[in-house]
């Protein structure tokens, strides 16, 4: 896992490095809404993850953000 966050409403999003050189973004929605994993090229995936995190920060805030929790090892 490269980075992750949890939004105030309970949704969780993670950014993963995949073996084929792509990145995966996993959206785990609040309870009873399931999850989704999608593969992207590295630049597109990083951009989408960053945009998603900013959107959640503005709308409902974050209860967990790996940028603060992981000592220099998260995006």
Q: What is the pLDDT of residues 4-55, one digit of tens each?
A: 999 999 999 999 999 999 999 999 987 777 899 999 999 999 999 999 999 9
In a domain, 56, yes or no: yes
The CB density around residue 67, as the number of other CB atoms within 10 Å, is: 13
The more confidently predicted of residues 32 and 63 is 63
Structure letter (DSSP) for residue 72: S
- Reference 45, options 74, 16, 68; nearest CA is 16
Instruction: Tally the domains of the chain.
Output: 1
pLDDT at 55: 97
In a domain, 75, yes or no: no
Cα–Cα distance measured from residue 70 to residue 75, given in angstroms and rounded to the nearest whole number? 9
In a domain, 35, yes or no: yes
Q: Where in the sequence is the domain holding 50, given as residue range(s)?
A: 3-66
Residue with tokens 């490269």: 2
The more confidently predicted of residues 70 and 15 is 15
On whether the CB atoms of residues 29 and 35 are closer than 8 A, the answer is: yes
């Amino acid at each position: 896992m490269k980075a992750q966050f949890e939004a105030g409403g309970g949704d969780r999003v993670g950014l993963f490095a995949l073996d084929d050189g792509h990145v995966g973004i996993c959206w785990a929605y609040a309870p009873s809404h399931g999850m989704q994993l999608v593969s992207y090229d590295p630049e597109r995936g990083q951009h989408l993850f960053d945009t998603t995190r900013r959107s959640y920060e503005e709308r409902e805030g974050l209860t967990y953000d790996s940028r603060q929790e992981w000592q220099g090892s998260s995006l």
